[in-house]
Structure formats: C-alpha cells, structure tokens
Amino acid sequence: MAKGMREIKRQIKSKQNTKQITKAMEMVAAAKLKRAQDAAIAARPYTDTIREVVASIASGAGNVKHPMLQSREIKRTAYLVITSDRGLAGGYNVNVLRKVSIALKENHKSAAEYDIFVIGRKGRDYFTRRNIALSEEATGLSDSPKFSDIKSIAAKAVRGFEEGAYDELYLVYNQFQNAMMQIPVLKRLLPLDQLQSDGGNKVDYEYEPNPEEVLNVLLPKYAETVIYSALLESKASEFGARMTAMGNATKNATKMISGLTLTYNRARQAAITQEISEIVSGANAQN
C-alpha cells in the first residue's frame, strides 16, 4: 500500500510540474497573440489600398498586357504553404497540411505537375518525410516577422509565375478569426485576372510614365504583400491555437491532479483504517 501511495504522489508531482509549464506557455502565447493580431490588422489597410490602386490601373488602362493578369492553360501549379517552426499548437499545422495534401491528391497525377514553397519547419519536415521536393523554404522566422524575412521566397514564387515556370500560384495558410478559431485557407494568388473585374467606386489616379511601367512595379509588389499579409495572419493564428491548446492542457492537468489526489486520499484513509484495525486486533488478542 505504501509503495502504491508513493507512486500516486509521484504522479501528482509530475502532473503539477506539467501544469506549471502549460500555464506558462499559455500566458506567453496570449501575450504574443496580442502583438501578432495587432500586426495582422495593421497590414490589412496597406494590402487593400495597393490592391485598389492596381485594380484601378489595370481596369482603366485599356489594352495593358501583363503576365500576372493573364489566365493561361494550367499545366503546372505552385503552392506556398505557411506553417510554424514549433509544435504544441493543437491542429494549427495539421489542418493546413491536410488542406494542401488533399489539393495535391485531387488535382495532380504526379509531382511533375506542381511546385512546393514552404515557410516553417513543420511544413518542411512534413514534405521532406514524404520525399516531396521543395522549390524554396524559409525557416527560423521570429515571432514578429519582417517582410525581409520572407522576401526571397515570396519573390521567387512570384517570379516563377511571371517567367512561366507554373501557371497558377496558391497560398495555403491559417486565416485568423479569433483566439479560438483559425480557418485553413487555400487561396489562388496568381494570376490576378479577377482584379480587372472588380466593381465599386473607382478612383482616378495620375501616374507616369505609363500604365505598363507602373504595373510592372506594382503587380509583383502587390503579390508579395499578400504573401506577407498571409504570414502575419498565420502568426496570429499560431499563437491563438497555441494559447487554446495550452489552456486545454492546463485544464486537463488540473482534472488529472484532482483525480489522483482523490485516489491518494482514499488509499491513505484505507491504510489508516487498516492500521487501526491491526492495533485493535492486537489489543484484543492480548486480552
């Protein structure tokens, strides 16, 4: 009995240590979530404005031709997948990787029909284990990533479409809704053919030297900005998912500690009762 009680006490101590760790991780994730959420929200007006400018120029410039605005026969597709470098974030990475895996399985017959760009170690390791070659990867990003951190991979993904290496580019990432909800999204980024048909109030811009030159600069910049905005959304989603996962882990640890404590108290009570019974039995035997 004493040996069993010592084991229960050891388990209680282990669960208490785990609870302290998960609680600390939950608080850290909550603090980082606020900063990441603010960054994601702050990036939206810039993305929306540059999109409005590009759409206005593209729709009002008549016969302007640019490869990023042209739909073409789909022979090869590229996917830019955004994951995290670390785990312990619930289904954050699993949901995104499942999303892209389904797309690859349903839309392509072989690896020759697609290219993969990955941000985050979890995504890189996932595709590496499945022997899927990566066109580019970016890992080790900070919790508050700058555009310069992903400029190389974003520029290479966009340039590949411009040069005809593939005929469409998709973004796969977690769209931030709130701390409890992150939605895995597969979004077509290129071509930008939908920009020309956008409605709403149009603004007349003055630009020089000509629409073609302006679009040559703005279109790649806009596509790269959308990628960076998706990264910020993903970071907010990551911290929201980790905060929720660690919160659930803390609650589960609390329940386990309560159950083990109850078991320990019952075992202790049984041991005391047994000792009293043995004392009473011994006293009666002497009489």
Query: At 258, which CATH number?
Result: 1.10.287.80
Per-residue tokens: 242? 């980790």
CA distance 171 to 173: 6
Contact 82, 170 (CB under 8 A): no
Per-residue tokens: 45? 């007006």
Domain that holds residue 12: 2-24+246-276
Please indicate, yes or no, whether residues 91 and 165 belong to a single structural domain of this protein.
yes
Please indicate, yes or no, whether residues 102 and 130 belong to a single structural domain of this protein.
yes
Per-residue tokens: 217? 């600069």
Asked whether residue 286 is assigned to any structural domain, the reply reads: no
Asked whether residue 69 is assigned to any structural domain, the reply reads: yes
Please indicate, yes or no, whether residues 95 and 128 belong to a single structural domain of this protein.
yes
Question: If you search the block for the tokens 């309560």, which residue do you land on?
Answer: 258
Q: How many domains would you assign to the chain?
A: 2
Please indicate, yes or no, whether residues 236 and 250 belong to a single structural domain of this protein.
no
Contact 85, 164 (CB under 8 A): no
Please indicate, yes or no, whether residues 80 and 218 belong to a single structural domain of this protein.
yes
Asked whether residue 85 is assigned to any structural domain, the reply reads: yes
Per-residue pLDDT for the chain (287 aa), expressed as one digit of tens each?
556 788 888 999 999 999 999 999 999 999 999 999 999 888 888 888 888 888 777 776 556 677 788 888 999 999 999 999 999 898 999 999 999 999 999 999 998 999 999 999 999 999 999 999 999 999 999 999 999 999 999 999 999 999 999 999 999 999 998 888 899 999 999 988 766 544 555 566 676 777 778 888 888 899 999 999 999 999 999 999 999 999 999 999 999 999 999 988 888 887 778 777 777 777 677 66
Please indicate, yes or no, whether residues 83 and 66 belong to a single structural domain of this protein.
yes
Q: Report the predicted TM-score, pTM, of the whole model to 2 decimal places.
A: 0.84
Please indicate, yes or no, whether residues 177 and 219 belong to a single structural domain of this protein.
yes
CA distance 138 to 115: 15
Asked whether residue 269 is assigned to any structural domain, the reply reads: yes
